[in-house]
Chain A
Amino acid sequence: MDTLRKYLPILGLAAFYVLVMALRKAGVLTSYYVQILMFAMINCMVTLGLNLINGFTGQFSIGQAGFVAVGGYTSAAVTTLLLPSSVLVPALRPLVFLVSVFIGGIVAGIFGYLIGKPSLRLKGDYLAIVTLAFGEIIRSLIRLIPQVGGPRGFSGIPRYSNLLWIVLFFGGTIWVLRNYIYSSFGRACIACREDELAAGTMGVDTTKYKVMAFTIGSAIAGVAGGLLAHLLGYLHPDQFNYLKSIDFLVYLYAGGAGSMTGSIMGATLLTILPEMLRFLSGWRLVIYGIALVFLMLFRPQGIYGGKELPFLIPKIRRPEGYEGGQ
């Protein structure tokens, strides 16, 4: 039973992948739906990363799109400028792609560290402002780099991403975050969220854990950016303006902060919703705005706030004879 529980997420994702592919082959799902699913999963990853920062550690970052941009542009630069697919034997391409996505994640993580280190010493919404500013500065800097297309956008990126890759990275993100959140690191993060002063008194180095969470969250955004770049085959700096960051915030809080299930639900639902509302044409965003207000009025904690589907909580091993509560 325990073993099953441990591998349930992996099995679930594998089953999901097989199901989608089967429906795709059977012609029920067209590549339109598959593409929306892929976008949804990428958005889920970014939201999950943001959830670690905002939901679990109690900080307030609103510039996540900047890190997606850093990751996306970095990994696209690797596969397009450094090692273009034309110089590679086909067998090497997936490897280069994998490496490039990780490099994108690492670079975004480094940026996260550099930004988090000075601004997370402070309390309050300062991180919010600094991340917002960072996102805009990154965007205006990218425009000035002609090698990645500047304002014309970065075109000709090989389209390596596919459902399998994205499912793998998505699963990997869930796995990493689940293990992180339910480790002593994660508990330290939650302690910071609940009461920073008390956490500090208990010997938790709050700045360290906040910076760590921020770095990991940014790195995940970077990885998602790498996947996005190779899915679209094109990047434009304006794709990552602060309105995009706001989208991720909305996914997070509509889904429910502090819950991985919530992030996944919020991002998935709200990625699909605007597509479903296409028939409304211009009224689409009007309805979306109203829907958001009503969702929060009736479920202020978000769809799944504070709760978690059971398979996302690892079984906690208790020492022999342990009788205390959770």
Chain B
Amino acid sequence: MRETLQLLIYGVQLGVIYALIALGYTMVYGIINLINFAHGDLVMIGAFVAYFAAELLGANFPLAIFLAMLIPACLSVAIERLAYRPLRDKPRLSALITAIGVSIFLENFPRMLPFIGPNYRPFPMLIPFKNFTLPTGAVLNSIQIVNILVSVALMVALTYIVHRTKVGRAMRAVSFNKDAASLMGINVNRIIAVTFFLGAALAGAGGVLYSMTYPMIDVLMGIWLGTKAFIAAVLGGIGSVPGAMLGGLIMGICEVVATALYSELGYGSGFVILILILLFRPAGLLGKVKIEKV
């Protein structure tokens, strides 16, 4: 019992971070059908922003996470404007290649900057660390609690924006049918920019939470994390916001449990689960199968 609960805690803590990052993938894919390869690197940028905010400005946790959401979000809007928008009516995959190009740039350019460089840096403790022992014997720590609370709050906020606000309604409309939405007077370019903004803000927050849990950052940290989150998005049904949340949680928990059972192959477990789910539910857990009309 202690074991199971303990593993569950580890899994959920990892899963909520995957979910935050997966949301950005799923929103961008839902709206312009682009696998945004540079998304993982925005996670890294978020982590670095928080690092510098804390080290240079002495920022506390709320300020650091705010900046870490704001700056990648603006960067993401700029990237969309410069590298993706000109290609929107071009073959779908050319935007994918610019995304890869942007990703290579984001990974390598900071490495050449003298104040960032290739080093692994310790990430500062933004909140005090404390262990709490639960009645069952499992241990829960303060960082895990903050992770889960912040992630859940952000996801609730996002769900509110998507379902209860005008912008959210416009986002859903654009993702459903761009041309029709534009005919209804929706500024499609602006809505797509908003989507990139929101997705990157969540990625930045994910970057901070991830770096607090595993307190080390470097310029390549986004690659693998991004891939995992992307897989989580697909698992939940790419294009679906609740799907990304569920997918992230499942990925996190499965990975931790599989690693505990057989660590030699644990890290590949996410992929195996993905293949199994896609075989039975091709559109992912909460994805809708699009019916094609002629």
Contacts and interface: CB of A to CB of B under 8 A. Distances in A.
A130 interface: yes
A282 to B, nearest CB: 5
Interface in A117-145: 118-119, 121-126, 128-130, 132-134, 136-137, 140-141, 144
Contact of B101 (A130, A243, A257, A293): A293
B35 interface: yes
A137 B271 contact: yes
Contact of A197 (B106, B231, B268, B294): B294
B265 A289 contact: no
B91 A257 contact: yes
B145 interface: no
Contact of A293 (B102, B265, B274, B275): B102
B35 A293 contact: no
B161 interface: no
A267 to B, nearest CB: 14
A300 B102 contact: no
A253 B93 contact: yes
Contacts of A121: 282
Per DSSP, chain A at the interface is helix
A36 interface: no
B282 A300 contact: no
A286 B108 contact: yes
Given A125-B35, A292-B97, A285 B108 contact: yes
Given A133-B275, A137-B272, A254-B97, A285 B227 contact: no
Interface stretch (B3-11, B65-73, B82-90, B203-211): B82-90
A289 B104 contact: yes
Interface string B75-112: 00000000100110011011111101111111111011
B101 A290 contact: yes
B231 A289 contact: no
B48 to A, nearest CB: 17
A300 B94 contact: yes
A20 interface: no
A129 B227 CA distance: 10
A129 B86 contact: no
Contact of B91 (A124, A246, A250, A301): A301
Contacts of B97: 249-250, 253-254, 292, 295-296
A136 B271 contact: yes
Given A129-B274, A137-B272, A140-B268, A286 B292 contact: no
Given A289-B105, A290-B105, A293-B98, A300 B91 contact: yes
Interface residues of A, number: 47
Contact of B100 (A140, A144, A246): A246
Per DSSP, chain B at the interface is helix
B112 A283 contact: yes
Contacts of B267: 140
Contacts of A243: 223
Nearest to A257: B93
A302 interface: yes
A316 interface: no
B17 interface: no
B211 to A, nearest CB: 22
Nearest to A121: B282
B101 A136 contact: no
Contacts of A249: 96-97, 100
Contact of B231 (A133, A296, A297, A305): A133
Contacts of A246: 37, 100
Contact of A282 (B83, B91, B100, B112): B112
Contact of B108 (A134, A242, A289): A289
A33 interface: no
Interface in B52-73: none
A288 interface: yes
B126 interface: no
A297 B81 CA distance: 12
Contact of B103 (A60, A118, A289): A289
Contacts of A250: 97, 100
Contact of B265 (A124, A134, A140, A300): A140
Contact of A289 (B87, B95, B102): B102
B154 to A, nearest CB: 25
A234 B125 CA distance: 44
Interface string B104-124: 111111011000000000000
25 contacts: A123-B292, A125-B238, A132-B231, A133-B271, A133-B274, A137-B268, A140-B267, A141-B268, A144-B264, A197-B292, A249-B100, A253-B97, A285-B104, A286-B112, A288-B104, A289-B104, A289-B105, A289-B109, A290-B105, A291-B101, A292-B98, A295-B101, A296-B97, A300-B87, A300-B90
Q: Closest 10 interchain pairs by CB?
A: A292-B101, A289-B105, A289-B104, A133-B271, A300-B90, A293-B101, A300-B94, A285-B108, A140-B268, A122-B282
Interface of A: 54, 60, 118-119, 121-126, 128-130, 132-134, 136-137, 140-141, 144, 197, 242-243, 246, 249-250, 253-254, 257, 282-283, 285-286, 288-293, 295-297, 300-302, 305
Given A289-B109, A292-B98, A301-B91, 7 more contacts: A60-B93, A253-B96, A282-B111, A286-B112, A289-B106, A295-B97, A296-B87
